[in-house]
Each structure stands twice: as structure tokens, then as C-alpha cells.
Amino acid sequence: MRVSVFGLGYVGCVTAARLAEAGHKVIGVDVNDQKVAMVNSGVSPIVEPGLEELLGRVTTTGHLRATSSCEEAVAGSDLALICVGTPSQRNGRMSAEALARACRGIGNVLGATGKPYTVVVRSTVMPGTTAEVIVPALRAGIGNGERPDVKVAVNPEFMREGTALRDFISPPFTLVGCEDKATSWQLRELYEKVDAQFVHTSVRTAEMLKYASNAFHALKVCFANEIGDLCNATRVDAREVMRVFCLDHKLNISAAYLKPGFAFGGSCLPKDIRALNQLARAAEVDTPVLATLLPANAARIRAAAATVLATRKRRIGVVGLAFKSGTDDLRESPIVAVVECLIGKGLQLRILDHNVAVARLTGANRRYIEEEIPHISKLMCEGEEELLEHAEVLLIGNADEQSEAVLRAARPGQVIVDLTRNFRGRSAFAYSDGSECLSLPIDSASSRSALPLVH
């Protein structure tokens, strides 16, 4: 395949060299003449183990050359990988100047030649950048209306400095965001020799995934350091704690708890986070990440109540009261906190949770509902029909069969607030995206897929 790589910085150099090694004809492009000359001489413009030797081999074989001419690069390629920098501005916002400049240049050439072409964004970009910057810049350059033969895709890189050459050929996955299968297959061919699962997704998902990954990596570093500080303050071997911690691939190092939904609760997490933060204060250890967990959780609960209040409806039917599905535990349930807030605002609530039938509760759970929330126990329903008859708004607190049954029986005009975010995309229910939860009115059974978000 004939490929051009715009930007010969860290990502661009490694990408160009590895693709050339795989047998593609690659043209590197950069506005810096010194970088162009270095690459053409087989000299690496960046420090990365093994890169200079690889550049020497692929430039000698003629599989890689560099230029400062956009016209030459586009004329000699069928696909461009945009690897230019996206630095932070003073306010933290990503700068898209280099992206727009590169795409306008490509568009100018395509407008003059009329050739089919694929533009692939490999730079790290915020969601919406492709639609708001890349496509308009290409169109401005082309200058002659729609060009269906010019395709656009997003292909984030997942390389670490110091191990980039190895990471390129063995990434966690090859991620491509585009709207058509032909472009997806073109990129499958480009990365045919890369040892990784190929994931085809939407453009915006691909844009966001790199940020989600990096944010999680940063969170893990801060979390490990704070646990290490607490260990040191309490004479515990920090490395041994984290070594054993990482042996747990069911919960700790896994997909567990990484599904967007509602707040945490129950008898363990809130209590233990409070205890850990108290330990940090007593030991005079600064743990800002751990200290934000409970306030962040409380903000999620407030947002849920605010979403219900924003419907301006008075009669609310709550499905699920326990802190999660499959249990009768009400201790520190975030749904209970939402219910308390709504009652305090004067709304009329009815609650359905088959696991929390007061007559069946025993022990700590029965004492909790009788001593802490006796007023809530009086709001419990016996079945779906009673709840549906009462409710103008259905508040879904647990993702289970009970919630599915209620949603399937929902009447036209009832509003659904799904805190679990679990039912979007199901054939029976279709939800619009919301900032904190999903909320929409059901106008009719046939039009649930195109309904507006309630504000």
C-alpha cells in the first residue's frame, strides 16, 4: 500500500518506520526540513531504542522517504496518516491548528487532482474533532463540494515511549473508527502484520477511547502511589501489597466495575473508603484521589435526583431499592438516598423491589428499614401494575428482570429515567445519551427509538 505519514515526531516516525518495514511504500511529511533530512539519511529525529537502526534499513531499501511537500506526498500515496502534534493550550484545551493545516493542505491537492483518497487521524484528538475540524478543513481545501471518494477514519495509537517499536506491532488492539466497511478493510490491510485484535467502531468512540485509556493509566499511577504512601505510614510493605493486589484478575485487574452506571453503595465500599481516608488523615498522608471518591459518588446521587426533578412530574415509580440487583441489602443504597431527596422535595413515590419485601426481611436489613427508613417501607408496591398505575416517571435503579418487565409494560407518556444505563440499545427500549443518566418520554411503542432527551 502507498502511505503518507504527516508529522515526523514520536508517533509519526515510529509509525512510518514500522509500516515501511512491513512492506508498504511510505512517504514521511514534515514542515521541519531538518527532520526530513534526518529521516532521509536514516537518522532518527527522536530518541527511541531501535528506531535509528530500523530507519536506516527502510530508507536504504527505498520503502521510506521523507519530504516537506504535501503535494508530493499526496500524489505518491493513496492513504494519509495524520500524526501531527495536538498540544495543550493555556486553558488545557487541545490545539487543532496543526491538524487543520495538514488537512487543508491535503484537501488543496485533492481538489486539484480529483483522486480518491483516505485520511486517517492517528493524532490524539478530542471527541468531535474529526467532524468539527478534520472534515471541514478537507472540504475547505478541496473547495468543490462533496467528495464521496474522500474517506475519513480515526486510528489512535497505543504506544509508550521507550517501548514504542514493540508496542506498534503488539498493541492492546488495533482501533479504527469510521463509517464505512470499505475504509475499515483498507486499514485491516494496512495493519495486516500487526499482532492484535482489529476493532472497528464509530469515529467518536475511537476519538474518546485514547483519552479514556490515558486517564485510567494516570489514575492507576496515582492510586498505587497513594496506597504506597499509606503502606509506608503504617509500616506495611507497599510492593508486596500491590503484588498480591494484582493477582486478582476477577475484580482488581479486570473489567469488573468498569461499566458506566449509577453510584456505589452497600455495606463495604462506603464504609471502607471512609476508614481509609480517616487512616490517611491520622497518619498525615495526603491522598487526594482517595479523598474524592465519596464526594464524586455523592455528586452522582445528586445528579440523579436533579434529573427526576427536571421532568416537572410529581408521581414517581422507583424500580429497585437495594444498592444493587440480586440483593436485599439497603445499607447505604444510593437509590435510598435519591428517594429521600425526592420525598423531601414533596414528590409522591411508589417503590417496587421484589427482593426488599418487608415481610421477608430479617436481621440487619429488617432493622435498617424499620429503624432508619420506616417511611420508605410504607411506599413499597406489591407488583408492577400498582407501580405503573401510579407513575408519571419510572426511575430505574437496578438492572434486572424486574426492571425489564416494568419497562416493557410502560405506557405512552410515561417518562423513563434509567440510572443503570443498561437498557439503551435493547429492541424494546431506545435511549438518548444524557450526561448523568438516560431519560426520555415514551410517546408510542413504535417511536421509542427517536425520542428527545428530557431536560
Contact criterion met (CB below 8 Å) for 86 and 101: no
SS3 409: coil
Which residues neighbour 197 within 8 Å (Cβ) at sequence distance 6 or greater? Answer: 173, 174
Locus of grid cell 479486570: 254
The question of whether 341 is a catalytic residue gets the answer no
The catalytically annotated residue of 13, 231, 268, 437 is 268
The whole-angstrom separation of Cα 172 and Cα 209 is: 12
Please say whether the beta carbons of 125 and 94 come within 8 A. yes
b (16+ CB within 10 A) / e for 14-33? bbbbbbbbbebbbbbbbbee
Q: Which of 158, 191, 180 is nearest to 19 (CA)?
A: 191
DSSP state of 251: T
Find the helix or strand (DSSP H, E) in which 440 lies: strand 438-441
Place of cell 486499514: 187
All residues at 6 or more sequence positions from 334 whose CB lies less than 8 Å from its CB, including other chains: 262, 263, 264, 265, 297, 300, 301, 304, 323
Strand partners, 118: 79, 151
Catalytic residues: 268
